Amino acid sequence: MDIAANTKISALIKANPNAVEAIASINRHFEKLRNPLLQKLLASRVTIADAARIGGCTEENFYKRLAPLGFTHISSGHAYVSPAEAAAASKPAFLAQLSPANILTLDVRDDISSGHVPS
C-alpha cells in the first residue's frame, strides 16, 4: 500500500493489522492504539502527519517502521493542513454559524493517558 503524510491511521490498520504494533513501537503515546475502543475512536481521525506531531516524532519514523509491513512512502505533493484548518473547512453550516463563545471544546487526553476511558 502506498502511504503519505495524509494517510489515515485507520487505513494502515485496515491494510495490515500488524501496523498497530509497528506504530505503538514508535512512541508510548501510540500504545493507546492497542485498545480496540480507542483505536476505533482515534485512528479514523488521525493522519500520519497528525500522529507524528502528537508523538513528537517525524513522519519518516512512521515510514521506516511501516516499510517492513509492505507500506511504501510516496510524496503526496500537497501542503500540510493543520487539524484546526481542516476542521474549520469541513464544519457543517449550522456549526459555522455559531460564535466561538457557544462552542465547548473538551480535552480528554490526560484522562486517556492515565488509563481512564471517558464516557
The answer to whether residue 59 is domain-embedded is yes
The DSSP element (H or E) to which 9 belongs, if any, is helix 9-15
Per-residue pLDDT at 92: 76
Q: What pLDDT, in 10s, does the model give residues 4-25? A: 999 999 999 999 999 999 999 9
Q: Total domain count for the chain?
A: 1
The answer to whether residue 44 is domain-embedded is yes
The answer to whether residue 30 is domain-embedded is yes
The answer to whether residue 118 is domain-embedded is no
The answer to whether residue 119 is domain-embedded is no
| Residue 55, SS3 per DSSP | helix
Which residues of the chain are modeled with pLDDT < 70?
76-91
Per the structure, the complete domain to which residue 91 belongs is given by 2-75+83-113
Per-residue pLDDT at 79: 46
